[in-house]
Structure 1
């Protein structure tokens, strides 16, 4: 991972560039496209990722998973989220969690976002483009629900050094995929899951409701226990109210 790195001072979206390489047949497993600035960075569900130039880590990792079925694609998301969360915890200390499906929080504030886009061949994942945005040295935030490693620790960080460390955490986490030990993966993910077994508020179908997140299905859907019974939601069907 990271043996081939394409560095850009500015681009529209590293995920778009990585996806173009995949479609052109030029992509390599473990290749990284990283930029100081993205003019059209994207997050989950079309949200924009805004970042000050040269302050943070914004990159896309191209992966060619071995024997990963489409039905198991959430397993990749779990590994990536756990790798990022592990790295953040190594720098920021306790209080790091994964907010389903794959935001990384320190306390209740978002420090990293992940966007995974897959290329499918038959029943298998041929390539995955993993976009990661991690606030490292950001100091000004439009949204009070966001933070950075620097804001939490009071330190300024060398981005290249932190990138190397983050890749080590990702490689370690991704090693679970070939083994296919989903129980270990689920246990680790639930151990990091924000709000697990706690009463939280959500929005679904335009309505706010209270519920207790109690787990994740193998397909990556969120299981929420409510007063009227258990409900299961896909990514686009529910959102958190922190």
Structure 2
């Protein structure tokens, strides 16, 4: 699907139709993020597209995007979650963006840390600006507390783009109201009591935190312990210390306690039989509160 430019107002749903949700300021974002020595080479904001991940991955494969390209959409009509799930939200109600990374100096075996690294960056950026306590559900969900309940307010999806590229996609519900939630278990920063929901500073904070963590991880050759990523992720991970059910490919499931995230970014589950089983991919269900 072809992206429509952020200033294209020919559709009748004027960009000013919801004054609580002003459009992002693309020029200000570029001034703040694209500078000498920065990771970020370009920041583009489009009005509407199917999926920023699909669009940016296609550009990367065609050689039309450099590392540090950022694509942001005010509205995604076919946003992608894990396991081919769809992610949709009202226009300008959240942050929906993708970043192209090319971690050439890091062994491919360690690239599995990229969604976890992004989770740490998103959580720290949001905490700084929105003042919301966020937690990470392994491997890539962002949780907030709404009315004493843990709810998903965001997600991360990493996809390979050609031989040397990874596109990291992030979706965060910012101002979603209760009557707009796609499912009852969803949440948003506003519903979690955010002190600020202006998306411009939120996006800047998240992208700066991502640049910082990515730089540290890359300088350490992707070693998650050496750069502090493994410890920081574990400290913010709501999955650890809980009873969980891992629903694995092939309709297999493991039930036990999530006890660690190992050096490869896998979740280690201690089962009732006394076995510690690392899980690299699957759906994790939290069975009891932390």
TM-score, normalised by the number of residues in structure 1: 0.88
The 3 A distance-change label for structure 1 pair 154 and 241 is: closer
Instruction: Select the structure that is richer in helix.
Output: 1
The 3 A distance-change label for structure 1 pair 67 and 164 is: same
Q: Secondary structure at the match of 1:33?
A: strand
**Structure 1 stretches lacking a partner, 5+ long:** none
CA contact (8 A) 1:110 1:146 kept: yes
RMSD between superposed Cα atoms in Å: 2.2
Structure number, greater radius of gyration: 2
How does 1:1-242 map onto structure 2 within 5 Å?
A: 1-93=39-131, 95-107=133-145, 108-119=150-161, 121=163, 126-139=164-177, 140-153=180-193, 157-180=197-220, 181-183=223-225, 184-204=228-248, 210-229=255-274, 230-236=276-282, 238-241=283-286
Cα distance in 2 between the residues matched to 1:116 and 1:94 = 24
Runs of 4+ that moved beyond 6 A: none
Deviations 1:136-173 (A, max 9, x none): 11112121221111111165622222211211121122
Once the two structures are TM-superposed, the CA of residue 61 in structure 1 deviates from its matched residue by 0.7
Which range moved further: 175-184 or 52-61? Answer: 175-184
Question: How many equivalent pairs are there?
Answer: 237
Q: Secondary structure at the match of 1:82?
A: helix
CA contact (8 A) 1:74 1:218 kept: no
CA contact (8 A) 1:119 1:127 kept: yes
Q: Secondary structure at the match of 2:79?
A: coil
CA contact (8 A) 1:13 1:38 kept: yes
Cα distance in 1 between the residues matched to 2:64 and 2:98 = 15
Which range moved further: 209-218 or 82-91? Answer: 209-218
The 3 A distance-change label for structure 1 pair 8 and 114 is: same
TM-score, normalised by the number of residues in structure 2: 0.75
The 3 A distance-change label for structure 1 pair 202 and 79 is: closer
Which range moved further: 51-60 or 208-217? Answer: 208-217
Task: Using CA pairs under 8 Å that are at least 6 residues apart, name the structure with larger relative contact order, 1 or 2.
Answer: 1
Which range moved further: 73-82 or 15-24? Answer: 73-82
